[in-house]
Structure 1
């Protein structure tokens, strides 16, 4: 984790991460061991203090931001998107892999925080 976090911070001016409740996710018994072994919380901590050392920015996007359900092409929001659906098509014609789409949206939201200085919250209905 030390080598990975150092490489990430050295190679990027801004690192955008999703603010996950790791403690709550670990309560899922089928995922707990894999998540604990990966050290998600430790990686975030290392990224944050190393960013301070190197003068970089780490932005955490709100955990309730609907990154998977928002189309990264047109911004449309899907009502329901169960976890077993890994790919979905938007009305605009774009076909999304759930994780790649979420990554694009988290990056865009984090860069918006840097540009505007505002928190990222889910859109109100």
Structure 2
């Protein structure tokens, strides 16, 4: 704890962070977006942008597919392998279409880099321009 720094906890949601706009240099979300519908993801990304300073960065690590084609191919392969329980787990959540997230972020004014880390985990790094 350094002089002049305060630490506090506030209760908020992805749709209403309890902070004024433009307060943060950096926002991170890990393994939370897959609980939101596509429409809710769009709202959450806009809220992340709202609290970022110009030039701020947003990092997202979460379960997702590169796009709908990759999702369909993966689910088909799981079904052919008899892995119905794995398909049920995927369909129980809202794994993102990474291409849609990237497009939403670009439309919000971010410069975006994205990459796949594992079968399901992707990392998106976005800088607000």
TM range (shorter): 0.3 to 0.5
Asked which structure has the greater CA Rg, the reply is 2
- Richer in strand (by share): 2
Q: Give the structure-1-normalised TM-score.
A: 0.37
